Amino acid sequence: MIKISHFNILLVEDEILLMQSLARHIEELDMGFRVVCQTANGQDALKRLEKENIHLVITDIRMPVMDGLELAKEIHLKYPSIKTVILSGYAEFEYAKEALSQGVVDYLLKPVAADQLENTLSKVKLELEKTYELEEDTSLTGQNAAQVVEYATLYLKEHYMDDVDFSAFSQKLGFSSAYLTKLFNKYKGCTPLKYLTDIRIHQARDLLLNTDLTIREVGERVGYPDQFHFSKTFRKTTGASPSAFRSQSDEK
């Protein structure tokens, strides 16, 4: 079973004081949840989900830019392992109940009472624990698991130059990053990060040998915008700095 010390929450609410109050109450309940992100609209929430390892989204229904139901639909489609809870006023009560058919786990009525919040978090926690307990017991064995790893490797080969967020990528596949790492170790003999690093360094070697790009430009082309980080990773992988590797090749 995958062990998780706490579950991460993203709060989406355009009433700042309400959002801050809700975050404080969640922390005070001490139920194994931690509010790691707060934002005021659905569009920004989706951007946060690309970068952060989120397990639960609590979102208001009525917000500018993108409302809570539209956000819930996007989450259900793109991040099926993330749970969603809707915040609503009494006037939106029926509207909120309809959201339960769209992948939403529960709804909270404003103003949120402590016992209501505790009951909802208990419900969500139970579902999350079931998800992560079952994750390693899924039928992803043999051909199915190999296909997942093959898809992941193809993705990395096509996106090695991008800033790859393995937590977000794993969630898109419906797993935790720990489980994806387990699959990679089994089928590729290395972690996803090591696999990505090998691709990047292979591409960097080719650029160093066959182009006049500067070291910084080579690093940027293969996913390392920080030249120091690129040089350090290149040296660790090849035993030589990028400039030394290029010079040695020129001498041959």
105 and 123 together in one domain:
yes
150 and 130 together in one domain:
no
148 and 239 together in one domain:
yes
Q: Is 52 left (phi over 0), alpha (psi -120 to 50) or beta?
A: beta
Residue 205 pLDDT:
95
Residue 222 pLDDT:
97
Q: How far apart are CA 248 and CA 250, in angstroms?
A: 5
Residue 178: C-alpha distances to residues 34, 160, 169, 174, 193 (Å): 19, 20, 12, 12, 12
Question: Taking the chain (252 residues) in consecutive chunks of 10 residues, what is each chunk's mean pLDDT?
Answer: 70 92 93 92 88 88 83 83 83 62 80 92 86 54 71 89 86 76 86 93 94 95 95 94 86 56
109 and 52 together in one domain:
yes
119 and 159 together in one domain:
no
Residue 1: C-alpha distances to residues 31, 111, 129, 231 (Å): 20, 37, 10, 38
Can you list the positions of beta strands (E) in 40-195? Answer: 56-60, 83-88, 104-109
Of 85, 73, 15, 11, which is closest to residue 48 (Cα–Cα)?
Answer: 11
Residue 91 pLDDT:
56
Domain of 15 in residue numbering reads as 5-135
The residue type found at 118 is E
Of 245, 175, 173, which is closest to residue 204 (Cα–Cα)?
Answer: 245
Residue 2 pLDDT:
44
126 and 148 together in one domain:
no
Number of structural domains (the chain) is 2
Q: What contacts 51, CB < 8 A, 6 or more positions away?
A: 165, 168
159 and 222 together in one domain:
yes
184 and 217 together in one domain:
yes
pTM score of the predicted model: 0.56
* Cα atoms in the 13 Å half-sphere on the side-chain side of 80: 7
- Domain end point (choices 118, 135, 152): 135
Q: How far apart are CA 207 and CA 213, in angstroms?
A: 7
163 and 193 together in one domain:
yes
Residue 165 pLDDT:
86
